[in-house]
Amino acid sequence: MGDGVRGEVVAAIDIGSNSLKLAVARLDASGSIEEFDWSMDTVRIGRGLDQTGELAEDRIEAALDSLSLMEARARAEGATRVLAVATEAVRRAANGEAFIARIREETGIEAEIITGDREAALSFAGMAALTDLSGQVVIGDIGGASTEVIVALDGVMQRAESQPVGSGRLADRHLRGDPPSGEELSACREEAWSIFVGSRLMPLPQGDGVRLLLAGGTGELMGDLARRKRWNVKQAEAAVQRTTRLTSGELAVKLGIQELRARVLPAGMAAALALADLTQPRSIEAARSGIRTGLFMEVFGVDRVSGRVKSGLTGAAPE
């Protein structure tokens, strides 16, 4: 745990398989964490990884350019430290460590590769500080190359596991059309289901007493397409079906996201349906991914989070 100083400013970057996400925070006068600036860029660092086993050079260069801009933005906001954690795509890539070394050398960012277990723990810690986790909850944090599935009861994590299911990975394997066909999305859903079923977490809690929380952009964007803050499985399926009628460019405009992100979103939503198949939840809800907040809690050595932390995808708010 850290030893935070009042007014200290720190930046945290989540190097995900699809997107790079920056948050900047300070320790306020009350000793709480106040996040006040955000940035996101979809570079798809994990694109093609399943085929080659390595991060593609053009994706590395795009990520380094984006990270340099994020580091400069964080410093301009007063950050004395800029931290970054890399997840599934980088930890699986044969050249992942070399990529991290380049980040440190070329940007000065304190970057590290984290395990799936640590990713789940950070995400849950940050989410618990921001979200109502009462009752029986199953959380699906769907990234580009992995999904952290967490089972919690009344705010206490019972078990968690990282699975090799992600929107980018599924899109690379199954999506050929733009827009994708219903058959392609069904293939994504079936593959995700088969991988989740093989998890040591099985069986997942199931039925009307369960809430399924979808962390990060996949959940929030599914909610936007469902036009609800809380929805059921039937409404989730209807939201996925809507993506078969919109090209990635049209979907990007509709949701206010980058086209690269829109291209893989339907596959991530199909993975969410697979989790719904296994839980048959009372409701499905979006929740903010907590990795960066979890990092801030560690660095500052506190577990209090200011009410000024924002959520959502509008403006500068975080995904």
Do the domain assignments include residue 311?
Answer: no
Note whether residue 317 is domain-resident: no
Q: Are 64 and 136 part of one and the same domain?
A: no
CATH number of the domain residue 44 falls in: 3.30.420.40
Q: Is there a single domain that holds both residue 108 and residue 15? A: yes
- 167 by DSSP, 3-state: which? helix
pLDDT in tens, the chain (319 residues): 456 677 899 999 999 999 999 999 999 988 899 999 999 999 999 999 999 999 999 999 999 999 999 999 999 999 999 999 999 999 999 999 999 999 999 999 999 999 999 999 999 999 998 889 999 999 999 999 999 999 999 999 999 999 999 999 999 999 999 999 999 999 999 999 999 999 999 999 999 999 999 998 899 999 999 999 999 999 999 999 999 999 999 999 999 999 999 999 999 999 999 999 999 999 999 998 789 999 999 999 988 787 554 433 333 344 4
- What span, in angstroms and rounded, lies between the C-alpha atoms of 79 and 12? 10
The separation between the first and the last C-alpha atoms of the chain, rounded to the nearest angstrom, is 26
Q: Is the same domain home to 196 and 55? A: no
The answer to the question of residue 273 being in a domain is yes
Q: How many CB atoms sit inside 10 A of residue 176's CB?
A: 10
Co-location of 85 and 212 in the same domain: no
CATH code for position 188: 3.30.420.150
- The answer to whether position 44 is within a domain reads yes
Query: Do both 259 and 149 map to the same domain?
Result: yes
With a CB cutoff of 8 Å and minimum separation 6, the contacts of 94 are 53, 54
Say whether both 136 and 112 belong to one domain: no
Residue 126 located in a structural domain: no
Domain that holds residue 296: 9-117+290-300
Long-range pairs for 238-247: beta carbons < 8 A, 24 or more residues apart: 239/269, 240/185, 240/266, 240/269, 240/270, 240/273, 241/182, 243/179, 243/180, 243/185, 243/269, 244/179, 244/180, 244/181, 244/182, 244/185, 245/179, 246/179, 247/178, 247/179
For residues 160 and 105, state if they share a domain.
no
Do residue 170 and residue 244 come from a single domain?
A: yes
Residue 127: inside a domain, yes or no? no
**Is 115 in contact with 91 (CB distance < 8 Å)?**
yes
Does 13 map to a domain?
A: yes
Q: Is residue 159 part of a domain?
A: yes
Buried b (16+ CB within 10 A) or exposed e, 117-153: ebbbbbbbbbbbbbbebeebbbbbbbbbbbbbbbbbe
CA–CA distance from 220 to each of 43, 113, 255, 265 (Å)?
Answer: 20, 26, 10, 11
Same domain, 21 and 38: yes
Rounded to two decimals, what is the model's pTM?
0.89
pLDDT of residue 4: 64
Parallel, antiparallel, or unpaired for β 9-15 and 19-27?
antiparallel
Same domain, 168 and 247: yes
Same domain, 152 and 112: no
Tell whether 137 and 261 lie within a shared domain.
Answer: yes
What is the total count of domains within the chain?
2
Q: Is the Cα torsion angle 220, 222, 226, 229 positive or negative in sign? A: negative
Buried/exposed code over 245-281 (b: 16+ C-beta within 10 A; e: otherwise): ebbbeebbeebebbebbbbbbbbbbbbbbbbbbbbeb
- Measured CA to CA, the distance from residue 31 to residue 312 in angstroms comes to 25
